[in-house]
Amino acid sequence: MPINAGPTYFVAEKKFLEARTREEKIAALEEMIRTIPKHKGSEKQLALLRKRLANLRKQKSGRATARPKFIIRKTGSAQVCILGMTKSGKSSLLNVLTGVNVEVGDYPYTTKEPNVAMMNFGDVQIQLVEIPAMFDPESMSILYTCDEILVLLDGSEDVDRQEKEIKKMLSGMRLSNKKMLFVVNKSDLEESKSKYLQISAKVKIGLEELKERIWSGLGLIRVYTKPPGKPKIIPPITLPMRSTVRDVAENVHKDFLKDFKFARIFNNSRFSGSHVGLHLLIFHFHPLLFPSIPFFYI
Ligand SMILES: Nc1nc2c(ncn2[C@@H]2O[C@H](COP(=O)(O)OP(=O)(O)OP(=O)(O)O)[C@@H](O)[C@H]2O)c(=O)[nH]1
Ligand SMILES: [Mg+2]
């Protein structure tokens, strides 16, 4: 149910989003509670604001986002956070990319705790984390340790304004240098003039392209290993770009290095099938990175 808030509420909400200290957050939340319309449709939201205020009052004073409060245990090859304003479609996207079924709502702030699910991409598992749009410090702290931030902009609202606000927030957290991917959702409703990838989580537009961009943004390579006469091993090893044969060998087993004579590498380059040594940068053999697949034969 819509809360039909007036402009004073949204000004207070903006202050809350931009607040850097606990004191600023408390002041902004108090203003939001004062200005939110009081009716049945806003009850849930009001309760949430009150709870958040009570929690903030309990915390020690200082920078609200200075230190990670908790870390979701990373699993898979990488962790990617989905960040965006409320109702931009973060939960819908998480559901459609991973096959889970977290709550999607037509009212703001449906997601109150981070949602976590695994996305499969070409034999690799990537952990996706939806960051609740209240941008509370506990959830936001995950951004410090994740590998990439997918910023989901709502194409049915002012995209430039959202982009500006999120960039400002991330720069306030000193996260401007993090790997970031901006995407515009709800392209089924209207075509945005934005330069970013347009998708629709609801009617499944642009999702394959999105998966590839998430993957390429991570700067990883996949290496399938293959013992002689046996099929390739799935899942592949994932390593940072410009890793060497030594990195692969170490990843397989430390003992590999002791008896290492050579490896054979197979991909779609003219060097395919060559014997190679430990110092070879896999990157050199891998101009396309995706979808070419090297096999190691040791
Ligand atoms: N038309 C359209 N609606 C969408 C799309 N993606 C999400 N929605 C709708 O937008 C509303 C919000 O979706 P959610 O996935 O809950 O958004 P959210 O960003 O997780 O929202 P909060 O957790 O509440 O901050 C729901 O009514 C969705 O059905 C889309 O691609 N197109
Ligand atoms: Mg959500």
Classified as helix, coil or strand, 16 is helix
Element (H, E) at 180: strand 180-185
Instruction: Give the confidence band of 90 by pLDDT, cuts at 50, 70, 90.
Output: very high
Q: Average of pLDDT values for 268-289? A: 65
Residues 233 and 262 reside in one and the same domain: yes
Residues 124 and 210 reside in one and the same domain: yes
CB of residue 45 inside a 6 A radius of ligand 1: no
State the average pLDDT for the chain: 85
What tokens appear for 17 in the block?
A: 């989003």
pLDDT of residue 265: 76
Contacts of 237 (CB under 8 A, 6+ apart): 222, 223, 224, 225, 248, 251, 252
Instruction: Give the confidence band of 86 by pLDDT, cuts at 50, 70, 90.
Output: very high
Asked if residue 68 is part of any domain, the answer here is no
Q: Domain boundary residue among 170, 189, 218?
A: 218
Query: Tell me, what CATH number does 269's domain have?
Result: 3.10.20.30
Residues 195 and 241 reside in one and the same domain: no
Q: Average of pLDDT values for 8-27? A: 83
In angstroms, rounded to a whole number, what is the distance separating the alpha carbons of residues 164 and 180?
14
pLDDT of residue 286: 43
- Residues 20-64 pLDDT 10s: 788 888 999 999 999 998 888 888 889 999 999 998 888 765 454
Q: Average of pLDDT values for 101-108? A: 94
Residues 159 and 86 reside in one and the same domain: yes
CB of residue 137 inside a 6 A radius of ligand 1: no
CB of residue 185 inside a 6 A radius of ligand 1: yes
Residues 198 and 224 reside in one and the same domain: no
Length, in residues, of the chain: 298
Residues 92 and 38 reside in one and the same domain: no
Pairing of strands 124-130, 197-198: unpaired
Asked if residue 63 is part of any domain, the answer here is no
Classified as helix, coil or strand, 217 is helix
The b-or-e profile of 268-288 (16+ CB within 10 A means b, else e) is ebeeeeeebebebebeebbee
Residues 41 and 155 reside in one and the same domain: no
Residues 109 and 154 reside in one and the same domain: yes
Q: Domain boundary residue among 167, 197, 218?
A: 218
Please identify, by atom number, the ligand 1 atom nearest to the C-alpha of residue 105: 16
Asked if residue 11 is part of any domain, the answer here is yes
- Residues 187-199 pLDDT 10s: 999 777 889 999 9
Using alpha carbons only, what angle is made at residue 244 by residues 240 and 248, rounded to the nearest 5 degrees?
Answer: 80
Number of domains in the chain: 3
Q: Best mutation site among 3, 92, 185, 202 for ligand 1, i.e. most ligand atoms within 8 A of its Cβ?
A: 92
Cross-strand partners of 82: 130, 150
- Residues 165-194 pLDDT 10s: 999 999 999 999 999 999 999 999 977 788
Range of the domain at 244: 220-297
Please identify, by atom number, the ligand 1 atom nearest to the C-alpha of residue 201: 31
